[in-house]
Amino acid sequence: MSFDADEFKQQFPLFAQAENRQLVYLDNAATTQKPQAVIDAICDFYRHSNANTHRSSHRLARRATEMVERVRGRAAGFLHAASAREIVFCRGATEALNLLAYSLCSEMQPGDEIVISTAEHHANIVPWQMMAQRHRLILRYVPHTAGIPQFDRLGEVLSERTRVVSLTGGSNALGLRPDLAGIARQLRDWRTPGRALRWIVDAAQLAAHEVVDVQKIGCDFLVCSAHKFYGPTGIGLLYGRESLLRAMPPWQGGGEMIAEVDLYSSHYADLPHKFEAGTSPLAAIAGLGAALEFLANSDRDAMAAHEQRLMLWLHRELATLPGLRVISQPQHNLGIVAFTPGNGSAADLMHWLDGRDIAVRVGHHCAQPLIRAAGETATVRASVAAYNTQRDVEVFVQALRDYLQLAESPQSAPPQPGADWGLDDLSVLQVEQLASQRDWQDRYRELMRWGKSIRAKPEIRRPENLVRGCESEAWLVHREQGGRHYFALDSDSRVVKGLGALLLSQIDGRSAEEIRALDLSQMFADLGLEKHLSRSRSNGFYALLRQALAQAS
């Protein structure tokens, strides 16, 4: 089985643009790039077939309607559904899960139970929380160890009152792929004709990396989003067994999903249209059809094997880098490596990588329970797709090595808790030195070095000293002596410390009049920081400046 990632990548025009030729795109769990075939299908629809569907008999409407139902049939084949009537178009997996939560829970009784896991995306937690509160239902979680669900212990939380089991097919934060066959075996005794227990699979990540067969999985419902598997945004799929969809009440009301309306009651359209209120995203559906055809003509087994090789290589290499804590595990992983830097913040590292034209994602990834259980508030996530090459991951790892080399340095010993805060020595920091750096990478590196001059100050980390508006937490304190103003700063972010050192090097020890006379915003712009730092980082500098000016006044 051979796969040429470079040849595959040529089908994606974004990478051929001059500004993107060196781009290393490792943010595929958030969204994938689009092949030319998908872009062409969207443009072709607007050029040749743009009309609303189903309710008109003119030529363009017929053509649009035929396209929608043709794509629906292709989507049924993509998921191995028994019929096109089992495919409902939604805006994405999030909307599909909200639809299921609303429709299924509306017929439950107080005290009925819903089982989810700590590894779920917020889209598979929040709708169930909302419905549990509204209908007085009970949420139960699969037993877990340090936040990692033990899916083989699912049976421990099932009961006669369990009505819904809604579980991920692959974690977007850690890449963890549950054993769906094992889950099906545990559910078998509970899914009898006399028990109304429904099994939902959130396949938003799974469908991007594996062939999905709902018949083989044995689930009742499955959801996914096209933009995760090379399709357009704004369109996703809800699969449901026909008998169950037919019995479910509709979620939204409006056009298309109505067969007949009188003043006090309405009759709903047949499947699947009773769940598709309003005008569908027709161009996105056309793009979805092209994405499904694109995947059907691709060697998906070879693509998956290539992604696994990259993912395993990344885990092996990152495990050798001192200063990184790798959170994800390579076993049963769909293609994600998640980690945190030991020195500095995850956001600092993201900005460093962005300066190298490497796209990753930093945050809780809409999986806060899982990230918190891992002892973190944010991780760096790199996620692979079939168009990623060995060069991509090598460039990424080398950038990490460079960052860690820059970030490693002993911090000054902090004072004992409870001691009065002291001043940092900023006398060696010269703005001219920062301005003289040849390019943005060198200037960023110098700014990181400046951050080392700000020692840790746990004694000032109090709510009243917190700076509002910084992307990373920062604390600023102030005192006045003899008409002069002195400041101290602390943050977990090396970049925020660097920006704080820049600010304090200009204002520390000055009078209020001298501080007000400084044009610090212009200095920030002249150094190119406003241009090259993200908006949130720039906002952080101005938040520090505002608080310092308020304190000095």
290 within 8 A of 274, measured Cβ to Cβ = no
Please say if the pLDDT value at position 341 is more than 70.
yes
Mean pLDDT of 315-323: 94
Domains in the chain and their CATH numbers? 5-26+299-407 (3.90.1150.10), 37-251+281-296 (3.40.640.10), 431-552 (3.90.1010.10)
529 within 8 A of 541, measured Cβ to Cβ = yes
539 within 8 A of 529, measured Cβ to Cβ = no
Please say if the pLDDT value at position 413 is more than 90.
no
pLDDT, greater one: 406 or 235: 235
Q: Which of 55-69, 250-264, 435-449 has the highest mean pLDDT?
A: 55-69
What 3-state class would DSSP assign to 142?
Answer: coil
Tokens 């994938």: give the residue. 32
User: Measuring CA to CA, which residue among 353, 393, 316, 383 is closest to residue 174?
Assistant: 383
Mean pLDDT of 120-124: 96
233 within 8 A of 48, measured Cβ to Cβ = no
pLDDT at site 277: 84
Mean pLDDT of 21-25: 96
Instruction: Give dist(CA 217, CA 79) in Å, integer.
Output: 10
pLDDT at site 485: 92
219 included as an active-site residue: no
Residue-wise pLDDT for 149-186, tens only, equals: 999 999 999 999 999 999 999 999 999 999 999 999 99
471 pLDDT band, cuts 50/70/90, is low
- Work out the mean pLDDT of the chain and round it to a whole number: 89
| pTM of the full structure | 0.81
Name the phi and psi angles at 495, rounded to 5. Answer: -65, -45
Cβ neighbours of residue 6 closer than 8 Å, sequence gap 6 or more: 389
The percentage of residues in the chain with a pLDDT greater than 90, rounded to a whole number, is: 58
Please say if the pLDDT value at position 499 is more than 50.
yes
257 pLDDT band, cuts 50/70/90, is low
Amino acid, single-letter form, for residue 123: A
Of the residues 105, 219, 224, 366, only one is catalytic, namely: 366
Mean pLDDT of 297-310: 97
pLDDT at site 420: 64
Name the phi and psi angles at 487, rounded to 5. Answer: -130, 155
What 3-state class would DSSP assign to 96?
Answer: helix
What 3-state class would DSSP assign to 25?
Answer: strand
pLDDT at site 416: 39
What 3-state class would DSSP assign to 251?
Answer: coil
List the beta bridge partners of residue 359.
25
Q: Edge to edge, what strands does the sheet with 361-363 contain?
A: 324-326, 336-341, 379-383, 361-363
Which burial class, exposed, middle or buried, applies to 373 when counting CB atoms under 10 A from its CB (0-12, 13-18, 19+)?
Answer: middle
**What is the DSSP secondary-structure string of 474-543?**
EEEEEEEETTEEEEEEEES-HHHHHHHHHHHHHHTTB-HHHHHH--HHHHHHHTTHHHHS-HHHHHHHHH
pLDDT at site 414: 42
